[in-house]
Amino acid sequence: MKYQLLVFDWDGTLVDSAARIIASLSAAFNDVGVEAPTVKQCRDVIGLGLEQALLRLSPYTSVDVRKTLMQRYRHHYLEANDTPTPLFAGVADVVAGLHADGYLMAIATGKSRRGLHAELPASGLEQCFHATRCADDAPSKPHPQMLTELMDELGVSAAHSLMIGDTEYDLQMAGNAGVDAVAVSCGAHESERLLALNPLICLGGVHALPDWLAEQTTG
């Protein structure tokens, strides 16, 4: 196999969670009496760690207000908001199949560790991933540390690793780590924005990844 390690983003790549993220961000801003960002502004920051996302959305608020925004966002996303966050169609079979094929599998996400632990076991895919990195563990994307740590932990070089994600931050992180990247257009950032960062390909979703990987193996 050309690639030994497949690293997936979580939100917008494997899981359709944009609606819940956006609703929780809006609710958090309303809770603290700060004008809520637009839907587009919220979508733009999906993929960043929460602190970095809030800094972009509201750069002139105080540190204390941003801390309260973080607390309220987590309350809404993890407890108060019941918007479903299902796996995208075909993801369960694809992830299980790639794991069975012998790939090393990992997750690199801007979610908190608490947030990932709330969703990964419920997805039924926990046993398919050999390692994970969250916003608690390393600097926010596009810093390369999440990827470099995963490669070190699993003993795979950058040349044999592949990042799969739906945002420019995923692709920038891959570039910063010297890792090839595949974009998927099912999530937060539109395909034109992703293609501007020169991924190997922009797929409609993870469901199309196995066929593309087979072409790389045999091509």
Does residue 170 have an active-site annotation? no
CATH number 3.30.420.40 given to 5-16+86-218: no
Do 140 and 52 form a contact (C-beta atoms < 8 A)? yes
pTM over 0.75: yes
Q: pLDDT exceeding 90 applies to what percent of the chain?
A: 96
Lookup: tokens for 156 = 């795979």
CATH code that applies to domain 18-80: 1.10.150
Looking at residue 90, its amino acid is G
Indicate which residue of 11, 44, 170, 180 is catalytic. 11
For the chain, give the mean pLDDT: 95
Is 11 an annotated catalytic residue? yes
Q: Where are the domains of the chain?
A: 5-16+86-218, 18-80
Q: Among residues 9, 16, 166, 180, which one is catalytic? A: 9
> Rounded mean pLDDT of 126-145?
96
Mean pLDDT for 11-25 is 96
Is the distance from CB of 69 to CB of 34 less than 8 angstroms? yes
Q: Spell out a b/e string for 16-30, using b for 16 or more CB atoms within 10 Å of the CB, else e.
A: bbbebbbbbbbbbbe
